[in-house]
A and B are shown apart, each in its own frame.
Chain A
Amino acid sequence: MRYAVVAGDRDVALEVSPDGRFLVGDAVVAADLVEVVRGRLYSVVIGGRTHEVAFLGGDRVGVDGDEIRLTIVDERAVAVAGNGPRGAAAREEIRAPMPGLLKRVHVSEGAAVAAGDALITLEAMKMENELRATHGGTVSQIAATEGTKVEGGALLMVIRSTLPAASVAGPAGSIR
């Protein structure tokens, strides 16, 4: 099975052979891997060099104390992404980063927004936090009402980006 892995700012093309050996590119890697804490902490020794890999939740992974993002796409998903439609209008979901009170919605449906525009004020832990647009687009949906309590992760707003999608992140095979 082949995997396209993005570890921090590096791409790693990894293959696991049927007999369980690891290949990076086309070369076999002499790696010894031990699961120290189930699903959380691994020790990896590559050619005598030791590394500790900690799975911190989501795509956050600690490597030797550095926190990076790790995405893994297996060969089936790689094929799909390669043939998939590119440049389709990207849909950005604005979700509540934490539970709180929706103090204010600064825009209305159909409004054009620019990167950095304030979208929503969320009050949590006695602080008012402004959620801002990461890039320009049009507000296609407002999913929550002012003055209501929202759960962490709740969908608040959908923005249809005016920029073409730069990359299609394949959720298939992504780690927990």
Chain B
Amino acid sequence: MRTCRELGIATVAVYSEIDRGSPHVRAADEAYPIGAAPPRESYLNAERIIAVARRAGCDAVHPGYGFLSENADFADAVANAGLLFVGPPGSVQRAVGEKTSARRLAAASGVPVAEGTMQPIRDLAEARVTAERVGYPVLLKPAGGGGGKGMRVVREAAELAGAWASSTGEAMTAFGASALLLERLIEHARHIEVQLFADAHGTVVSLGERDCSVQRRHQKLIEEAPGPAVDDALRAKVSAAATKIAAAAGYVSAGTAEFLVAPDGSIYFLEMNTRLQVEHPVTELVTGLDLVALQLRVAAGEPLGFGQDDVRRNGAAIELRITAEDPFGGFLPQGGRIEYLREPSGPGIRMDSGLAAPMTVPTDYDPLLAKLIAWGPDRPTAIARARRAVREMIVAGLPTSLPFHSFVLGEPDFVAGRYDTDYVATHWGGGARPEITESAAIAAALAGVARLRSAARPSVTAVGPWVRSAHEDALR
């Protein structure tokens, strides 16, 4: 919507009952309700969304990066309603969106995939046979899913039946389809993904990689570009593999090819995301491109306007996902009310956030609250800026992932770029509490006691000259 505002394109938002006050509603030129809070009645209701688009006289529909953004039927329905779909057409989404079909496409293009099934598995008996063939440990995942939901690591045969039951159950709830695939688990791997862009005129470019290895429950917490362990040879290898798959699929618009890179440097294609991803700002900051603007240009049928040799990358960027989760309680999602909020700003800091205070955070949707993205001319500067920004940020009222980020940005292995997808388990575990100085402990004690004692007394709120000057400083 920010991009549209800059380009002078009018926007129409849709919202569920509980999102009337949300930032996207306030940012749009027009906004219409589409139903109750449960996604099936609102954000997953294609008919209502398309009806609103037609009534409002829209030219195009941007699906965002949740809900219907990877739904081929929705892309087709939008096109059939005479509207432009901002993203790859339904036929392309079908070819690469479903995971086993993407694996077949990759294998046919000569891109390696982890050993496993090339078709969805029918039942537990077939899963057992396949697991024996590829060898434990294996990974079960929903063939039609994403975002780590329903994924299970199975280390031995005895665990398979239980994992199968919970994985199919979760896949059914989250994606409305229970088909699973099974592949060999690549241990101690890094999650490296390539940002692709293609137009309808045959141009496919790689905008470089992101390292997204810092994950919990197979969901990303930190993403950065360039990958600290990616050298020119590896970058060329994953970029070539990604563009090969995209070209084979006749890909159009923004997409991401995800890979696992094993400790020995071999790469395995994982899946293709046929949408803009949560972590796309990292690539925007190092390439200087506005990926949403490119999506709109490509959707309008225009050529991309540049080729692979024109892609320049500058500096390093790192994104921290600020989530409503308790990092000391196994990252369990938390609802609540934000009572006080202070967001960071300053050199090299971008906040993609819809937060306000006071504001109720529902547990109906994803726990992602905001994205803090830091850019620097090199990785150490980007990390230093991110650390400074995390120190500035305050979200009072519910637990967030901030203490985790604060830990990681000062943790020697992360700072040295030595991490893989096991990082959260091996380095954070159940949670690492910071050590504080004696002076800081006394300050906390004094403030705590003062607060306790003043709670009983009526308050006098006064804004002194120093506070006023602080406000002015923030606007420098």
A interface residues (Cβ-Cβ under 8 A, vs B): 3, 5, 7-10, 12, 14, 16, 22, 24, 29, 31, 33, 35-42, 44, 46-47, 49, 51, 53-57, 60-70, 72, 97-100, 123-129, 152, 173, 175-176
Residues of B within 8 A of A3 (CB): 445, 449
Q: Do residues B434 and A72 form an inter-chain contact, with CB atoms below 8 A? A: no
Q: Do residues A8 and B448 form an inter-chain contact, with CB atoms below 8 A? A: no
Partner of B339, one of A42, A57, A100: A57
Q: A53–B451 Cα gap in the complex (Å)?
A: 11
Q: Could you mark each residue 438-452 of chain B with 1 if its beta carbon is under 8 Å from any beta carbon of chain A, else 0?
A: 111111111111111
B435-475 residues with Cβ-Cβ distance < 8 A to A are: 435-436, 438-455, 459, 461, 467
Within the complex, what minimum Cβ distance (angstroms) separates B444 from chain A? 4
Q: A125–B149 Cα gap in the complex (Å)?
A: 10
Q: Do residues B442 and A24 form an inter-chain contact, with CB atoms below 8 A? A: yes
Partner of B459, one of A12, A14, A38, A125: A38
Selected A-B contacts with CB under 8 Å, 7 pairs: A22-B449, A41-B342, A56-B394, A68-B434, A72-B449, A126-B174, A173-B452
Q: Do residues A37 and B169 form an inter-chain contact, with CB atoms below 8 A? A: no
Within the complex, what minimum Cβ distance (angstroms) separates A156 from chain B? 14
Q: A69–B335 Cα gap in the complex (Å)?
A: 20
Residues of B within 8 A of A72 (CB): 445, 448-449, 452
**Given A10-B436, A98-B335, A125-B363, is A5 in contact with B449 using a C-beta cutoff of 8 Å?**
yes
User: Which of the four size classes fits the interface of chain B?
Assistant: 35 or more
Return the chain B residue nearest A11 by Cβ: B441
Q: A16–B467 Cα gap in the complex (Å)?
A: 27
Q: Do residues A128 and B170 form an inter-chain contact, with CB atoms below 8 A? A: yes
The main secondary structure of chain A at its interface with chain B is strand
Q: Do residues A29 and B392 form an inter-chain contact, with CB atoms below 8 A? A: no
Does B398 interact with chain A (Cβ within 8 Å)?
A: yes
**Given A31-B442, A51-B440, is A128 in contact with B169 using a C-beta cutoff of 8 Å?**
yes
Within the complex, what minimum Cβ distance (angstroms) separates A135 from chain B? 13
Q: A38–B365 Cα gap in the complex (Å)?
A: 31
Q: Could you mark each residue 243-273 of chain B with 1 if its beta carbon is under 8 Å from any beta carbon of chain A, else 0?
A: 0000000000000000000000000000000
Does B330 interact with chain A (Cβ within 8 Å)?
A: yes
Return the chain A residue nearest B169 by Cβ: A128
Q: Do residues B396 and A31 form an inter-chain contact, with CB atoms below 8 A? A: no
**Given A57-B396, A57-B397, A72-B445, is A7 in contact with B436 using a C-beta cutoff of 8 Å?**
yes
